[in-house]
């Protein structure tokens, strides 16, 4: 188990270093940052002053190494627009984004796992076809469109939920549903296919021959083996939700990390943009590593892979 953990950790560190490099280069490839910061009406003298003030006149490799050393220490510099430390801005808004992602994942799991199991048990029936139709609709529906529909119906017409802002639990319901709706199809289909394969295996037939209850066979023997790929895709989906929160937080005006990125892009605040990209990518890497560990616990055969 320790060797398995070390191998996965080494891969995660290499991916993190790659993300560090890409998040730095992408902001530089977007154009001359000094001109973007100075604005369209700035003179060449103004641009030169900004370039010297922010160290943009130094060689690119030196800028990268300096940023890399500071980023590893958690220092992402200062925001040009918010006039505050970037790390402080992200730390203050990250709980909102994390809460939104966890709410979306919880809703997705509560809906997709039972439906996937039911579809597998009633394979090729009208129940199975109905569940697959729900998955197809969820796959095709744009998240921002669903968000607007929920705002009109649940917020404006019925008045059940607030349509925007950040506050108590009720502010997370609609954006959580929107995030969950994009994750439900893949989780549902994977649960269904895993359960169909598990229910047709020899150990399930043996469990039935021993006279075990149907519920015990489904949950203890069937779903435990079918859950291995579901754990992996759930971690991936949570990473997608955290990254996709940029759109959802903008639609619902939730002041999380995604909304911070949207504001910073409009203000050419590149230290915040590259820090947000890095933090969300590192969270995704950490979730993938956690999924590998959970899968190794569920299936010891993976430890030698």
Successive 10-residue mean pLDDT values, the chain, 305 residues: 71 80 74 66 72 74 81 78 82 87 88 83 80 77 81 83 79 86 82 77 69 66 70 77 78 83 78 82 80 69 58
pLDDT of residue 210: 67
Under CATH, which architecture does the 92-268+277-304 domain have? Orthogonal Bundle (1.10)
Rounded to two decimals, the pTM is 0.76
* Cα dihedral sign, 202-207-213-218: negative
pLDDT at site 84:
80
pLDDT on residue 302: 59
Q: What is the pLDDT of residue 20?
A: 78
């Amino acid at each position: 188990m320790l060797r398995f953990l070390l191998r996965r950790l080494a891969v995660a560190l290499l991916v993190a270093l790659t993300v560090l490099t890409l998040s730095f280069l992408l902001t530089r490839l977007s154009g001359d940052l000094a001109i973007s910061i100075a604005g369209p009406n700035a003179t060449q003298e103004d641009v030169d002053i900004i370039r010297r003030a922010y160290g943009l006149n130094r060689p690119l490799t030196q800028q990268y190494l300096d940023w890399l050393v500071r980023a590893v220490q958690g220092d992402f510099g200062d925001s040009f627009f918010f006039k505050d430390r970037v790390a402080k801005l992200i730390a203050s808004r990250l709980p909102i984004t994390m809460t939104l992602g966890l709410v979306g994942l919880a809703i997705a799991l509560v809906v997709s796992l039972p439906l996937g199991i039911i579809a597998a048990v009633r394979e090729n029936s009208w129940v199975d076809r109905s569940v697959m139709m729900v998955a197809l609709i969820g796959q095709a529906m744009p998240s921002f469109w669903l968000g607007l529909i929920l705002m009109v119906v649940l917020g404006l017409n019925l008045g059940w939920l607030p349509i925007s802002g950040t506050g108590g639990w009720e502010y997370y319901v609609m954006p959580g549903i929107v995030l969950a709706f994009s994750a439900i199809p893949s989780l549902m289909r994977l649960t269904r296919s895993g359960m169909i394969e598990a229910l047709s295996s020899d150990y399930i037939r043996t469990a039935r021959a021993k006279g075990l209850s149907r519920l015990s066979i489904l949950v203890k023997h069937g779903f435990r083996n079918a859950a291995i790929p579901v754990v992996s895709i759930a971690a991936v989906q949570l990473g997608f939700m955290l990254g996709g929160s940029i759109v959802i937080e903008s639609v619902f005006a939730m002041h999380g990390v995604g909304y911070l990125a949207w504001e910073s892009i409009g203000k050419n605040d590149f230290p915040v943009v590259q820090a947000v990209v890095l933090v969300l990518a590192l969270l995704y890497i950490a979730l993938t590593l956690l999924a590998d560990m959970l899968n190794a616990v569920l299936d010891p055969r993976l430890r030698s892979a």
